[in-house]
Structure formats: structure tokens, C-alpha cells
A = this chain, B = another copy of it.
């Protein structure tokens, strides 16, 4: 079973995924994509993966072909649903049971297609699957936050090349989210406004970092981008929670995402990338713990963050926490704005 271990010096939890138990020789395997015949995410290979949790399909029974989007538990989950969230002290450290969930959203039955190659309707289906899984996983009050993300390409951490996203449900709100939520709450308390809305207003006003202004969304390069060609896709309408989006809003988002991914593919030649959904945590209070984010509907603004992984995170970044970005976001935005899509 996995453990969450607390580092008192760095003040953060680390997931020690002992089930994955990687020995030295496991790190020397060749970096080649999975050959098509054995891909567990392809049509006809449904028996090579765990039973599906959710699917969008035109007809036919579960765990057989004819699906458009298929959600399965990860065969090698980082965190498992079985058990109770318990923590205890261990010398100067703390340790917690690795309770959570780990799901894979297979975005298409077609092995060779990336997310950028899917139609707007197909991406809409993927987004509907995200929404559905988020709403379902939130029923489990042990899961304090759902990290929804995509790894595309080996250098971005993808171990299977067939296009998929993942949800890891964690028993604690993650550090990145805690900071963002805290900042937004403090800002709202002070100014009665959403900080994200302020940033969006400022970015639209200067225009320097805007890649594309869609009817319902804005795609821009963040002012303090950590990595070259980093992007943020944000809804114009203030809303704290991705899962509240209507079908027609999801279609608008699918359109914007396809545009974003095509621009990236064009300008950076199909780079490895990660995207991460930043959305509000479940608002249901935990027994014995008061709800900390009382104004979250007003102060937080969901969005998607995308980072191409074209430069390594080197010793300076790892050791200091400062990032060095050699491509000013204004230049990145200009290249992406001019891409022929």
C-alpha cells in the first residue's frame, strides 16, 4: 500500500508508491511507445484493462468495443480506495495511509490520434467524462481534492502513448491548490473581487500575452510563466467549479482546447506537454473539520494550465524553487497567435 510521508523540513507530503516498487533496473527500459497490438487502451483489448467505471458509447455492452470515451481504474494505482484515512507520527516525521483513487480517461479508441487530432465533438465527450467522474468521486468525503491532468509524450511522464488523461483523488488538498485558494480568499476578503477576474481584465486590456480571445474563454501566456510557452485557458464567466459547466459550455471549452492544442502542435512540433485542471475542491465539510473556504464560490475561478515540457527542470529550479524561463511569455504568445490553425 502507498504511504503519504510528511517532510518536516520542506513542509510537504510525498506519496511513496511502494506498490509500483521500482528497482534500479526498471529505470533503464528503453523509451519507446507501446506497440499497437498490445495497447490495453485500444478497441478489442478491453479485457487487458480493468473493468470500466464509465463510458460514452453508441451501443453494445460495457467492456467491449463501440465506446467513444472510456474510464477505467489505473491498473497500478498511486492511491487506492480501500481503507481508512489514518495518520500517525514516526520519529520526527508523519505518515498517512495512501487512500485515494486513480482513474484513466481513455480519450479515443484510435491509437495514433492525439487530443489535438480529435474533433470538437470528441473533445466534448472527453470533457463530459471529466465532469461525470468529478461529480461521482466527490461523493466520497475522504477524497479532499481531485487532480485531473494529462501527460502527453514521454518527457511529460506519459508511459503509454495512447491518448489519455488521469484523475488522482487525494486525501489532502495539494500544496499548489492550498496556495492558490488561500491567495484568492485573502484577496476577496480585502477587495470583494476575484483575483482571476482582475488578471483576466488586465490581460485583455494590455493584449500582450493574449493568444486567442474566444467567445467564452481566453487563452493567454501567464505573465510569470515558469516554463517556455506555458498557457492558461480561463473562462470569462466567473465560476469556481468546472463541474458546473453545461453541455454547451463544455462544447465551447472543447473548441478552445482544440485550438490551443493545434497551435502548440504547429509552433512546437507536437511537443510533450502536461495540462492540469484547477477547480475548486468539494465543498462538503469533513466531520470534525470546519469548512475553510466559505467564500470559494465568489473568490475562486476555475481554469486550465498547460505546460509544454521542452526544457528540463534543472538543479537550480529544483534546489531553489525559482524557475528560469528563457522565452518571455509575450514572445511565446506572439508565436502562438500567428500559428496557422
Contacts and interface: CB of A to CB of B under 8 A. Distances in A.
A157 B274 contact: no
A78 B316 CA distance: 11
A327 B224 contact: no
Interface in A149-192: 149-151, 154-158, 166, 168, 170, 174-177, 179-180, 183-184, 187
B156 A314 contact: yes
B327 A7 contact: no
Interface in A116-153: 145, 147, 149-151
Nearest to A278: B319
Given A14-B226, A21-B327, A324-B15, A274 B309 contact: no
B318 A307 contact: yes
B320 A174 contact: yes
Given A202-B91, A325-B16, A310 B27 contact: yes
Contacts of A85: none
Contacts of A278: 319
B23 A316 contact: no
State which size class the interface on A falls in. 35 or more
A292 interface: no
Chain B CB within 10 Å — which of A23, A206, A326, A327 has the most?
A326
A13 interface: yes
Contacts of A176: 10, 319-321
A269 interface: yes
A58 interface: no
A8 B325 CA distance: 17
Chain B CB within 10 Å — which of A21, A90, A147 has the most?
A147
A281 to B, nearest CB: 12
A173 to B, nearest CB: 9
Interface string A214-252: 000000001111101100000000000000000000000
Contact of A224 (B6, B17, B22, B158): B6
Given A15-B323, A78-B316, 19 more contacts: A6-B224, A7-B222, A9-B196, A11-B183, A14-B224, A15-B325, A17-B324, A21-B328, A22-B327, A91-B202, A92-B198, A147-B319, A150-B315, A157-B312, A157-B316, A158-B314, A174-B321, A175-B322, A313-B313
29 contacts: A5-B223, A8-B187, A8-B195, A9-B180, A9-B183, A9-B196, A12-B321, A12-B322, A20-B326, A21-B327, A21-B331, A23-B331, A23-B335, A24-B335, A27-B310, A78-B316, A92-B199, A147-B316, A147-B320, A155-B312, A157-B312, A158-B314, A170-B320, A175-B321, A175-B322, A176-B321, A276-B318, A276-B319, A309-B312
Interface of A: 5-18, 20-24, 27-28, 78, 90-93, 145, 147, 149-151, 154-158, 166, 168, 170, 174-177, 179-180, 183-184, 187, 195-196, 198-199, 202, 206, 222-226, 228-229, 267-269, 271, 274-278, 305, 307, 309-329, 331, 335
